Amino acid sequence: MDASGILSSPATWVVALASSLYIFYRYTTSTFTYFSDQGIPGPTPIPIFGNMWNIWKENLPAYDLALVKKYGKVFGYFDGRNPNLFITDVEMIKAMYVKDFDHFVDRRSFELKTKVMRKWLALMNGQEWKDVRSSVTPAFTSGKIKRMSIFIKESVANLCDRVTTFTEKDGKIDAKMTFSAFTMDVIARCAFGLKIDTLGNEDDPFVNNAKFVFHSAANKTPAAILPFMYPNFVSTFAYFTEPLIVTKEMKFFFKLLEDVLKDRMQSNEKFNDFIEAADEAISAFTKVVDGKTVPMWNRETIDEILMGQSTLFMLAGFDTTATTLTSICYQLAKNPDVQEKLYESIVGKMEDYEDVCHEMVQNIPYLEMVIQEVLRYYPPAVRIDRKCTKDYSYDNGRIKIKKDQMVTVPIYALHHMEEYYPDPEKFDPERWSPENKAKRSPYAFMAFGTGPRNCIGMRFAMEELKIAVSTIVQKFRFFPVKETPERLQFDDGFTQVLQPMHAIVGIEFRYSN
Ligand code: HEM
């Protein structure tokens, strides 16, 4: 038979198809003995999906907790064909996220090519990440945050007006909606230099575009897990895949910032916001070339880095902080003793101050304890990960981690482990008294991550939370109403940030108001 005869034979096509399927099958399953060869337990993976089949329909916090309960503190998991070691062992967390950080500098990344997003700190790798992180860090010093606290206070004043209206009209609030409007207002002011009436104006393009960016329906479809299972596919076919991530709503914010930066170039005004602080910090970052100290980047690159961090500020800071405030409000409604004790602590501190301000919120131990317990109970980021950048061995070779392997800490599950937090489903701020805190490893609390790649916005977030809580708890009292759920529920789906649902609580003015 000649070549054309062979090609047209059905048998050839059957063999070719069967061989392709076999090769594909082998490709998607060839890694599946990676953990069992090391004696590490874990759920059984299936071809193509690994352990991620149906995860987009799950409730991620409950899913992770069930895995930890079943397989223990160290287990193997597969994102598609990619091994991912899940750890809730505090010594391992310390080793990989802090002590041997130089093996785990990177986070999972999708190598985006789109301008601005490719400069997002959260997605950058290696030396580039180190440079940008070092250059942006001075924008988050206590002094810079104090300057930005003025904007937070203005937004809190708007929040109180809005809550007053709800109190008079309905006697209850939808906490997530109310606090989302507030955190968006803070971000518009601090990261975009804009004073928009976010709280009152639902038609504002800033609000509408942000809503779309944050409430992507894709989290509940298999599309959400594609970049996790096959990141190289997403990078290789970036032309087709990136428009799914870089939507026109996202581009709205890039354009907005570009315009803000252009305006600022022509102005000598001082703004005291994040853009200004970050611009100063990034522009001042230097390198040494031929013995001479010169700026690290040219103006064009500085603008791109700046826009990257401002848009990331919005993505990383909006929902996380709104979810935390919602959870605080819910727990105060459900725990009146805690609420009263918090009220007394804040009012006691106010004796030395005319108004809630940066200095006033710095040292209120019980406020800190309540926020810590809320972040323990409901950590907004469900999981964090690191990518191994150089082969690594733990505990004298008992566990081997190869370059490119992922290591994940399921934060929600870690925070609900009996071993670290006895009676973990009990909301108890006393866990954070200095004596109780000293008994526990600091690595059992990961709400802001840990090590050199932890949350860069942590101090800003804490400032925002403390100013908002200190102000509203003095004026209002929260309590459960018939719509308040027995347990706070979170939306299903492969979401990176907890999404509280039906967080309706009653609200009344304090008598002293
Ligand atoms: C309650 C509020 C917040 C929580 C719970 C939170 C939590 C986290 C967590 C868990 C991480 C990963 C850390 C790790 O991998 O070790 C992270 C990273 C990050 N967060 Fe936050 N965050 C909050 C607010 C903010 C705010 C307000 C900003 C911006 C000002 C921000 C900016 C970032 C950035 C840029 C990163 C990536 C850092 C890097 O890769 O170097 N976050 N955050």
In the predicted model, what is the mean pLDDT of residues 252-272?
83
Domain borders along the chain are 11-509
Q: Which one of 2-6, 187-191, 211-215, 402-406 scores highest in mean pLDDT?
A: 402-406
Q: Residue 376 corresponds to which tokens in the numbers above?
A: 């323990």
Q: Cα separations (Å) of 32 from 6, 40, 43, 80?
A: 36, 12, 11, 10
In the predicted model, what is the mean pLDDT of residues 233-252?
76
Read off the pLDDT of residues 160-202 as tens digits, 9 standing for 90 and up. Answer: 999 999 999 999 999 998 998 899 889 988 888 887 765 556 6
Read off the pLDDT of residues 40-67 as tens digits, 9 standing for 90 and up. Answer: 999 999 999 999 999 999 999 999 999 9
Q: Where are the alpha helices (DSSP H) in 193-236?
A: 205-214, 226-229, 231-236
pLDDT of residue 252: 85
| Nearest atom, ligand 1, residue 449 CA | 16
Residue bearing the CA closest to ligand 1, atom 1 = 321
pLDDT of residue 271: 86
pLDDT of residue 507: 97
DSSP symbol at 442: G
Residues in contact with 255: Cβ distance below 8 Å, sequence separation at least 6, in sequence order:
none
351 Cα to the center of ligand 1, angstroms = 33
132, 315, 455: which to mutate for ligand 1, most atoms within 8 A of CB?
455
pLDDT of residue 334: 98
| Nearest atom, ligand 1, residue 313 CA | 29
Flag whether pLDDT at 433 surpasses 90. Answer: yes
448, 459, 469, 495: which to mutate for ligand 1, most atoms within 8 A of CB?
448
Are the C-beta atoms of 408 and 387 separated by less than 8 Å? no
pLDDT band at 513 (very low <50, low <70, confident <90, very high): very low
CA torsion angle for 157, 161, 163, 168 (degrees, to 10)? Answer: 150
Q: Residue 399 corresponds to which tokens in the numbers above?
A: 């566990």
Are the C-beta atoms of 286 and 294 separated by less than 8 Å? yes
Q: What is the fold of 11-509?
A: Cytochrome p450 (1.10.630)
Query: 149, exposed or middle or buried, with CB in 10 Å at 0-12, 13-18, 19+?
Result: buried
457 Cα to the center of ligand 1, angstroms = 5
Q: Which one of 109-113, 369-373, 497-501 scores highest in mean pLDDT?
A: 369-373
| Nearest atom, ligand 1, residue 375 CA | 5
pLDDT of residue 216: 62
pLDDT of residue 215: 64
| Nearest atom, ligand 1, residue 380 CA | 5
Buried b (16+ CB within 10 A) or exposed e, 69-96: eebebbbbbbbbbbbbbbbbbbebbbbb
Amino acid at 335: N
Distance CA 476, CA 253 (A): 35
Distance CA 37, CA 266 (A): 63
Residue bearing the CA closest to ligand 1, atom 6 = 448
| Pocket residues: Cβ below 6 A from ligand 1 | 107, 121-122, 133, 312-313, 316-317, 320-321, 324, 380-381, 384, 447-450, 453-457, 460-461
Flag whether pLDDT at 275 surpasses 70. Answer: yes
Distance CA 415, CA 413 (A): 5
Residues in contact with 185: Cβ distance below 8 Å, sequence separation at least 6, in sequence order:
155, 158, 159, 196, 198, 199
The answer to whether the complex's ipTM is over 0.90 is yes
388 marked ligand binding residue: no
| Nearest atom, ligand 1, residue 190 CA | 30
Are the C-beta atoms of 314 and 486 separated by less than 8 Å? no
Residue bearing the CA closest to ligand 1, atom 39 = 122
Flag whether pLDDT at 214 surpasses 70. Answer: no
Max CA distance (Å), the chain: 98
Flag whether pLDDT at 385 surpasses 60. Answer: yes
